[in-house]
Amino acid sequence: MAAETRRILLVEDEKTIRTTVGAYLEREGYWVTPAADGQVALDEFEKHRFDLIVLDLMLPKVSGEEVCRAIRDASDVPIIMLTAKGEEQDRIAGLELGADDYLVKPFSPRELVARVRALLRRAHVETEPQRDRLVFGDLVIDIAGHKAFLGGQELDLTASEFKLLTTLSRYPGRVYSRMELVEKVLGYDFEGYERTIDSHVKNLRAKLDDDPREPRFIYTVHGVGYRFEAPKTDADE
Please write the tens of the pLDDT for every residue from 108-120: 898 899 889 888 8
| Tens-digit pLDDT profile for residues 54-99 | 999 889 999 999 999 899 888 888 899 988 766 666 667 777 777 8
Q: Examine the fold and report which residue of 90, 108, 126 is the final residue of a domain before the chain moves on.
A: 126
Q: Could you tell me if 149 and 45 lie in one domain?
A: no
Distance CA 27, CA 159 (A): 27
Residues 179 and 196 in one domain: yes
Q: Which residues contact 237 (CB under 8 A, 6 or more apart)?
A: none
207/178: higher pLDDT: 207
Asked if the structure places residue 2 within a domain, the reply is: no
Residue 112 sits in a domain whose CATH number is: 3.40.50.2300
pLDDT value, residue 55:
94
* pLDDT at 150 exceeding the cut of 90: yes
Question: Same domain, yes or no, for 23 and 118?
Answer: yes
- 98 and 114 in a single domain? The answer is yes
Contacts of 135 (CB under 8 A, 6+ apart): 141
Q: Residue 148 has what pLDDT?
A: 95
pLDDT tens column, 156-197: 999 999 999 998 998 888 888 887 788 778 764 444 455 678
For position 179, what pLDDT does the model report? 79
- What was the pLDDT predicted at 131? 67
Q: Residue 52 sits in which domain range?
A: 7-126
* Helices 15-27 + 109-124 axis angle, to 10: 50
- Considering the domain architecture, whether residues 12 and 94 belong to the same structural domain is answered as yes
Strand, coil or helix: what is 189? Answer: coil
Residues 91 and 187 in one domain: no
Question: How far is Cα 151 from Cα 156, in angstroms, rounded to an integer?
Answer: 13
Are 144 and 93 part of one and the same domain? no
Q: What DSSP assignment string belongs to 133-188? A: EEEETTEEEETTTTEEEETTEEP---HHHHHHHHHHHTSTT-EEEHHHHIIIII-T
Q: Total structural domains in the chain?
A: 2
Question: Of 74, 102, 126, which marks where a domain is finished?
Answer: 126
